[in-house]
Amino acid sequence: MNQAQEIAEQTAALRPYFDRLQKRAFTVGGIGLVILAISAVVDPQQFFRSYLLGFLFCMGLPMGSLAILMLHHLAGGTWGFAIRRLLEAAARTAPLVLVFFIPVLLGMHELYEWTHAEVVARDPVLQQKSGYLNIPFFLVRAAIYFAIWLTLSFLLNKWSLQQDATTNTAPTRRMQKISGPGIILFMLTMTLASVDWIMSLEPHWFSTIYGLIFIIGQGLLTWTFMTIVAVQLSEKKPLSGLLTNQRLRDLGTLTLAFVLLWTYTSFSQLLIIWSANLPEEITWYMTRLHGGWRYLGVLLMLFHFAVPFLLLVSSQIKAKTRALTAIASGLIVMRLIDLYWITAPAMHHSGLEPHILDLVAPLALGGIFVGAFFWQLKNRSLIALNDPRFSDLIGKDSGPHHG
């Protein structure tokens, strides 16, 4: 039996395990979607508000995976090869982002004040921005974003599958060549998408670093999710030979790096706006630093930065798979709270008003995304074959894993 056949059999042996996880995720997602459908009839306004939160949260997995996959093809690194098929499976769920964007389009008038002609007519600021903030151009831009994201995901996965079937290195070179311009296009389009879909909830306010913060948040969500899955697969063949203790520590270190990036960019935005003290800018923070919103801000400082930083800076803690899983799970929760802190004050002007749908929507869409991820993951070899950069790593045994 050759190496490719052995890896294929080991992957096939894990399919019942992936089937169970897929079924559980789809069950959660299906129940959640039923609740959302009922709420869309009973309380459309709250439905669209909560749905937008869930959409922005869940799209971070396929989009963040796509960006990190391209980063891996550019920079190399054994950490990327160990989780490459996980990243590719998540990136292949990108069409769901397009499908789940449809309700956002249907709820534009509920979400975005600039879609109301009467509001724009009496607001000089919105009139000046109407050349950009108008429905036709909004739709055109969204179509461009999705065309670029879906094309990048399709090509990278297509060429990766081709590389499995040949020792010719052409597919690998194509993946490397497209990843350079692909990263640039991704950063540009995701920045504009964050302006369109989130910042325009409060169209008077602006920040030039806003898109970068959003992208870093997507990357952090991806690292945490990949860490959780990698820990579970690190004791199962064929990935046990790649997801060694050192590779898991690498994932913890990269998660720490994105925690610090998120903290640095978020604090930089606050510092610049606070020091300028301009009414059109400072109002955004004044809203979020008063009333019930301030408690969420404190929560983010503690558990989106301070606690993860103190834990992940320790190599000993990163070597403990249970601790690493717990930290990653906590950061996923904090990513949702961060997006809620960013978006909800734009729609709840009277203060902090959490609603059960703010939890149901992320669980519903998240269940579908996670189920689709495991469905994609089980349909390909868990190790990318014939990659000239990493062929020497396949089959190496791992050291003991620490619980």
Secondary structure (DSSP) of 56-81: HHHTHHHHHHHHHHHHHHHH--HHHH
Rounded distance between C-alpha atoms, residue 50 and residue 320, angstroms:
36
- Give the model's pLDDT for residue 397: 44
Average pLDDT over residues 216-236: 97
Whether residue 393 lies inside any domain: the answer is no
Cα-based distances in Å from 348 to 118, 288, 341, 351, 359: 21, 11, 11, 6, 16
Whether residue 133 lies inside any domain: the answer is yes
pLDDT at 1 over 70: no
- Give the model's pLDDT for residue 78: 83
Cα-based distances in Å from 244 to 120, 251, 391: 57, 11, 16
- Give the model's pLDDT for residue 403: 52
Whether residue 385 lies inside any domain: the answer is no
Q: Maximum Cα–Cα distance for the chain, whole Å?
A: 74
Whether residue 258 lies inside any domain: the answer is yes
* Cα torsion 156, 161, 164, 167: sign: negative
H helices present in 130-244, as ranges: 135-164, 170-197, 210-233
Whether residue 400 lies inside any domain: the answer is no
Cβ neighbourhood burial of 349 (10 Å; 0-12, 13-18, 19+): exposed
How much is the pTM?
Answer: 0.95
Task: Produce one character per residue of 266-276: b if its CB has 16 or more CB atoms within 10 Å, e if not.
Answer: beebbeebeee
- pLDDT tens-digit series, residues 259-278: 999 999 999 999 999 999 99
Whether residue 7 lies inside any domain: the answer is no
Task: Produce one character per residue of 117-144: b if its CB has 16 or more CB atoms within 10 Å, e if not.
Answer: eeebeebeebeebbeebeeeebeebbee
- pLDDT tens-digit series, residues 370-401: 999 999 999 999 999 888 877 655 544 444 45
* Cα torsion 379, 385, 387, 390: sign: positive
The count of domains in the chain is 1
Whether residue 281 lies inside any domain: the answer is yes
- Give the model's pLDDT for residue 394: 56
pLDDT at 129 over 60: yes
**Preceding omega of 181 cis (within 30 degrees of 0):** no
Q: Please give the mean pLDDT across all residues of the chain.
A: 94
Cβ neighbourhood burial of 346 (10 Å; 0-12, 13-18, 19+): buried
The CA radius of gyration of the chain, in Å to the nearest whole number, is 22
Instruction: Please state which of the ranges 163-172, 240-249, 339-348, 384-393 shows the lowest mean pLDDT.
Output: 384-393
Instruction: Decide: 256 and 224 in contact? Cβ < 8 Å.
Output: no
Which residues pair with residue 402 across a beta bridge?
A: 320
The single residue listed with the structure tokens 């991704």 is 186
pLDDT at 341 over 50: yes
Instruction: Decide: 96 and 62 in contact? Cβ < 8 Å.
Output: yes
Rounded distance between C-alpha atoms, residue 2 and residue 188, angstroms:
44
Rounded distance between C-alpha atoms, residue 301 and residue 263, angstroms:
8
Percent of the chain with pLDDT over 70: 97
Range of the domain at 256: 29-380
Whether residue 158 lies inside any domain: the answer is yes
